Amino acid sequence: MAEQMNFGETEGARDRPLHEASPTFVTGGLVAGCAAPENEAVSVYRGLPFAAPPIGELRWRPPQPPKPWSGVRDATSFLSSAPQPPGGVISMFGTRDGATIDEDCLYLNVWSPARSTADALPVMVWIHGGGFRVGAADNPMYNAVNVAATGVVVVALNYRLNVLGCLAHPALSAESGHGASGNYALMDQIAALRWVRDNIQQFGGDPGCVTIFGESAGSRSVSLLMAAPQARGLFHRGICQSGALRDVSNSLAEREAMGLEIAAKLGCDKGSDPVAELRAKSWEELHDAIAFNSNPFVDGWVMPEDPCDLYARGDVAKVPLIIGINADEATMLDWLERDNFNTVAKYREIVNRDLGAHTAAIFDAYPATEDADAIGAMTALRTDQRMTLPARQQARWLCDAGLPVYFYFFTRVPPWHAGETMGAHHGAEIAYEFGGGVRCGQFDMNAVLSETDQVLSNSIMAYWTAFAATGDPNSAASPVWPRYERSEEGYMELGDQIRPGLGLRRSTLDMLEGLPAVGV
């Protein structure tokens, strides 16, 4: 644990932002931040190392403590994000033009409104999305200055992605000392949470009041950290946005087989030390070798069992959770596949192929009588199968374990181009929760907001920060959000109207339960 050294705690300094005080001591040495350019009352510290660079011999090893430095480290600029490919439909979640990517990427950023290290403010730790393939803590969407200004300390972290974040191989498992490999992305997130535990008091945060929150892959990370024994005690609430448990039940053997395939493809399977040969390859060579499954999996160490089984028997962190989805998730997720189901005939053919005897019920629930309806019907079905149903199941498991759960349904069609074409799409809520305006993918403090957008943004920030402080999203600022219970399945709609509801799509989800997912 970092020694607690309270610099700048003179009586006069207590009325000034932390960045105006003396440098801050964290694990590794002294750091100096700056004022957030959008709000000088908020201090921002960028590019803080929470682990040693995972390069060379540290590639595909658990994160190690950051290397100490001498003097005062400048923490006013964002540093490298994890290596990742450009482009693609989820590129909005990735790096921006001109951003640096490098394997030396294990950095986090802190926004704090504190005036003293003794302020003990709630802490919110953001885990970015991007399918475990792309993403960066410094994406402009995640500028947390407006959230921090409400009275919380916000941390945004990087983690390893793609083959660097999840490669398993028998030789890596053998050298690990615990018989497992892969899941380095989750190990990085756990290391960052340990850093928060040890250092966040220096930024005026309370290490005993930490909320982890994330969207998409970040949300699935929250779901998995709830089940990971190594993460227990490092956080006290969770918020899952569009990412319940799914695609995380592969075995170590399955993923080691993929590692062997990569090694063979790159000619790293002939010598006596395939790991050394793989470590000598560039990240681009590794990434391009095969179509890689970047999802976390059951490695027997970080994730000791199938997380679905752990949830089903209540063997998870005993913390309250917010979980929810957006109304039109699949419009973005299946955007590149839409020509496969853009007519009634194509839509019906896919459903008949995958769901057989259940097709009549499916067509009743998701009707398409004209070609213009086909894409909407399929994306509604895929949204429910891939997002709504897993989120409901996760909420039910936690409810059965006696844990407080709050469910939301985001329905606002945002006034930007993606909203016009994809509705309340995957990731649409992010601009609202960060109070960053309505320019999807770009923080804009001066955006012109409609009254509807402003009220919704303020309400979501109020719900999220109240939950971070107390474990209950309710406050005097917004309509009452009912706790989720199996009997009534209460939820909060976050949209043009902010209102509670009961039994979100219950009969339709009941019909879908147990059916195979429709492919496109």
Element (H, E) at 110: strand 107-112
The residues assigned a catalytic role are 216, 329, 426
| Strand 490-494 relative to strand 498-502, pairing | antiparallel
At 372 the three-state DSSP class reads helix
12-311 shares its CATH topology with 320-512: yes
The reported pLDDT for the residue numbered 95 is 82
- Average pLDDT estimate for 332-351: 94
The reported pLDDT for the residue numbered 440 is 60
Burial class (CB in 10 A: 0-12, 13-18, 19+), 162: buried
The reported pLDDT for the residue numbered 318 is 98
Could you report the per-residue pLDDT of 504-518, keeping only the tens digit for each? 999 999 999 999 999
Residue 111's closest CA among 46, 54, 24?
46
Domain locations along the chain: 12-311, 320-512
Q: What is the DSSP string of 323-359?
A: EEEETBHHHHHTGGGGGGGSSHHHHHHHHHHHHGGGH
- Average pLDDT estimate for 68-78: 97
Assess whether pLDDT exceeds 80 at residue 6: no
The reported pLDDT for the residue numbered 445 is 58
In angstroms, the CA 423 to CA 417 distance is 9
In this structure, whether the domain defined by 320-512 belongs to CATH 3.40.50.1820 is answered with: yes
Query: What phi and psi, each to the nearest 5 degrees, are found at residue 391?
Result: -65, -40
Q: How far apart, in Å, are the Cα atoms of 491 and each of 321, 404, 466, 503? A: 13, 13, 17, 8
User: Picking from 82-96, 188-202, 242-256, 434-448, which range would have the lowest pLDDT averaged per residue?
Assistant: 434-448
Which fold, 12-311?
Answer: Rossmann fold (3.40.50)
The reported pLDDT for the residue numbered 8 is 42
Local confidence band at 14 (pLDDT 50, 70, 90 cut-offs): low
Angle between helices 344-355 and 371-383 (to 10 degrees): 30
Q: How far apart, in Å, are the Cα atoms of 411 and each of 87, 199, 319? A: 27, 38, 27
In angstroms, the CA 169 to CA 172 distance is 5
Query: What phi and psi, each to the nearest 5 degrees, are found at residue 347?
Result: -60, -50
DSSP 446: T
